[in-house]
Amino acid sequence: MSVLSASYDTNLLVRFVTLNHVYDPPYALTPNSMTQNNCAPIIAYQGHQGAYSHLSCQRVFPTFETHACMTFGAAMIMVEEGHAEIAMIPVENSTAGRVEEIYRKLPHTSLFVIGEHYEPVNHCLLGLKNSSIEQIKTVGSHPQALAQCDKRLTALNIRPLATLDTAGAALEVSKKGDLSHAAIASSLAATLYGLDILQEHFQDVQGNTTRFLILSREHKIPTLIPNQKYITSFLFTVRNMPSALYKAMGGFATNNVNLIKLESYTPDGRMVATQFHIDVEAHPEDINMILALDELAYFAKDIRMLGTYIASDYRYLNA
């Protein structure tokens, strides 16, 4: 089997431009009933309106109609079934680490990665109109958000209460009507639910950032442009031979291909094989990448290309 066949067999490039993150219109997608009827294309995300995923959708795709889903799987299925053009899915956070659920879902989806977006997280302490920080006794939010604000909450003697997501906590505050209860959520959630921002940048550590993947049914390897940086993502399992992983990765080292992520997990609860998710800073048409993939194919199996896309400039801001 050709190592590159999984990518080259797909069609129709979606042009994605990073940093300010906007599609370069008109984007090249197969017309469906939504676009043919001049309806706004739909982007799906997990969470309530006002979640950080929702905020990312609005920032990257301001002309798209956003659709909230209760689960990551539901957002991905919307795209698979053609009810949405793309999905905005978080995969890792600079403070909380990877979103393990997504890495377990990727091998089972038919979607492709067409872009990435880095969203700086600005946790806000939200309360009812005319409330003050001094009045707050309890605060609701997602457990990760609460953990990221633990020192602030302890200093203010505020008791944390875990909820399913940050925006849902904000919605609860607006409905509950209790001046002593607050939420940790985004500024967008404050706008949507009519809450006051009692304090911005409420997290203990500044620079907290979430990386999102943009998933689509359609993908084509983007045209190789000199000096443009690309990320190629794919899955594989190693063959049952000594030092197979070491040898599989050796091709990237000897061919000077920058490996920037290697995630491992046991698929489907089996303990006999390990699957790997890998991101490399390369385009499949780079000669060094071709050589590295050729060596990988000898020591690995079940290689599946997830996509090649332009690397976000956010990666290089502090380089």
Question: Locate tokens 């780079």: which residue?
Answer: 286
Cβ neighbours, 10 Å, residue 171: 22
Q: Give the phi and the psi of residue 258 in degrees, each rounded to 5.
A: -75, 115
Q: Give the phi and the psi of residue 276 in degrees, each rounded to 5.
A: -125, 140
Beta strands 230-238; 22-23: pairing state:
unpaired
Beta strands 196-199; 138-141: pairing state:
unpaired
Question: Which amino acid belongs to residue 45?
Answer: Y
Cβ neighbours, 10 Å, residue 24: 10
Is residue 72 annotated as part of the catalytic site, yes or no? no
Burial letters for 48-67: b for 16+ Cβ neighbours within 10 Å, e otherwise?
bbbbbbbbbbeebbeebebb
Predicted local confidence at residue 103, as pLDDT: 87
| 41's tokens | 């294309």
Cβ neighbours, 10 Å, residue 179: 16
Predicted local confidence at residue 25, as pLDDT: 33
Asked if 46 contacts 71 with a C-beta cutoff of 8 angstroms, the reply is yes
Active-site entry in 210, 232, 237, 308: 210
Predicted local confidence at residue 268, as pLDDT: 66
Say which CATH superfamily domain 6-120+210-316 falls into: Periplasmic binding protein-like II (3.40.190.10)
Beta strands 97-98; 230-238: pairing state:
unpaired
Burial letters for 249-272: b for 16+ Cβ neighbours within 10 Å, e otherwise?
bebbeebebeeebebeeeeeeeee
Active-site entry in 212, 234, 276, 299: 212
Rounded Cα gap, residues 70 and 65, in angstroms: 17
Is residue 61 annotated as part of the catalytic site, yes or no? no
Query: Which part of the chain has CATH 3.40.190.10?
Result: 6-120+210-316, 124-198
Cβ neighbours, 10 Å, residue 37: 8
Question: Which amino acid belongs to residue 304?
Answer: R
Predicted local confidence at residue 12, as pLDDT: 25
Class of domain 124-198: alpha beta
Per-residue confidence in pLDDT tens, the chain, 319 aa: 223 333 333 322 232 333 333 333 333 344 444 444 567 899 999 999 999 999 999 999 999 999 999 999 999 999 999 999 999 999 998 887 888 889 889 888 999 999 999 999 999 999 999 999 999 999 999 888 998 899 999 999 999 999 988 999 999 999 999 999 999 999 999 999 999 999 999 999 888 899 999 999 998 889 999 999 999 999 998 887 888 889 889 999 999 999 999 988 776 666 666 889 999 999 999 999 999 999 999 888 889 999 999 999 999 887 6
Q: What is the pTM for the complete model shown?
A: 0.83
Q: Where are the alpha helices (DSSP H) in 61-149?
A: 72-80, 100-105, 143-148
Rounded Cα gap, residues 7 and 219, in angstroms: 8
Asked if 180 contacts 125 with a C-beta cutoff of 8 angstroms, the reply is no
Predicted local confidence at residue 277, as pLDDT: 93
